[in-house]
Amino acid sequence: MSAAAAGLVVDAPPRLRRSPLARLVRSREAVLGLVVIGVVVIVSVLAPLLAPQDPNAGHPDSVLAAVGSPGHLLGTDEQGRDVLSRLIYGGRAALYVSVVSVALALAIGTALGLIGAFAGRRTSGLLMRTIDLLFAFPVILVALSLAAVLQPGPWVLIGTVVFGAVPYVTRIVYAEAKVEREKEYVEAARSLGASEAAILATEVLPNIVSSVVIYGTGLIGVNIVFTASLSALGLGVQPPDADWGRMISEGAKVLVTGSPGVATFPAVAILLVALAFNWLGDGLRDVLNP
């Protein structure tokens, strides 16, 4: 996207000529999302420094301490473990798993989508038909199968998210690449003798990357919620490690018996982070695809 695209930018209304970053900062929800995500990432990285106590050390003498009790700002769980410390550690697995799996899904989906758009009719038809069949497949079956094969753990979560997300990413990339393929700049590159592979990599890919990034940002949020539920079922992060999803299922027993915080604090954390990724994704959409 060289000369032709440059010409477009000059014709664009002045609002669009501001740098993307400046426009992102003007979007209130994007900034809010970025701040929440930034705080959670920093807290997760610095967890060993920030957590007031060992997240996995139980204290039999201070079981189910109330919120605000001395030494336990958010109380303790059934085993006397400090809820605040577990909350600080509990986002690590969720962020790691969601980011890694969404990155994998975006890479695979983009490759498949581009192949679908540029391959011959038969390959393309077969590929996209297969993708259609995988669309909306109940991913819990994938999670259960992987747990039976691999034993429960982070790879079960990553594999499940990738399987569930690839069809959607492929569809988006396929649809966009098909549109781009017919545009004049691609024809111009082709007439200049560029190979199909070079056109894909240097002309088409840069033009669809923004859609992929926007979709991927929202996807991270969706999957922080989803993988938390899988971990709550026992298919993901294993005890005694602190994890927001597991904290919910571990706090389930005491939710109705006077300690609702044990399960509710991690649920609120999940909700906030997921919303933050949604807001950032919406903000990015306004900036990148106005």
How far is residue 97 CA from its own chain's centroid? 8
Q: Backbone phi, then psi, for 69, in 5-degree steps?
A: -75, 155
By rule CB under 8 A, what string of x and - marks binding of each residue 188-227 to other proteins?
---------------------------------xx--x--
Which range, of 18-26, 59-67, 97-105, 128-136, touches other proteins by CB under 8 A? 128-136
Task: Give 42-48's long-range contacts (Cβ < 8 A, gap of 24+).
Answer: 43/88, 43/91, 44/88, 44/89, 44/91, 44/92, 44/95, 47/88, 47/89, 47/92
How many other CB atoms are there within 10 angstroms of residue 61's CB atom? Answer: 7
How far is residue 289 CA from its own chain's centroid? 20
137 touches other proteins by CB under 8 A = yes
Report the amino acid identity of residue 17: R
Which range, of 11-19, 150-158, 181-189, 205-213, touches other proteins by CB under 8 A? 150-158
Among residues 139, 173, 280, 287, which is the contact residue for other proteins, using CB under 8 A?
139
Segment 11 to 50, residues that bind other proteins, using CB under 8 A? none
CB of 115 or CB of 142, closer to other proteins: 142
Residue 181 tokens read as 């393929």
234 touches other proteins by CB under 8 A = yes
> CA 96, CA 166: separation in Å to the nearest integer?
18
Shortest reach from residue 83's CB to other proteins, in Å: 14
267 touches other proteins by CB under 8 A = yes
157 touches other proteins by CB under 8 A = no
Cβ atoms 221, 276 nearer than 8 A? yes
Shortest reach from residue 40's CB to other proteins, in Å: 14
Cβ atoms 152, 165 nearer than 8 A? no
152 touches other proteins by CB under 8 A = yes
List residues binding other proteins (CB under 8 A).
133, 135-141, 144-145, 147-152, 221-222, 225, 228-229, 232-235, 244-245, 248-249, 252, 255-256, 260, 263-264, 266-267, 270-271, 274-275, 278
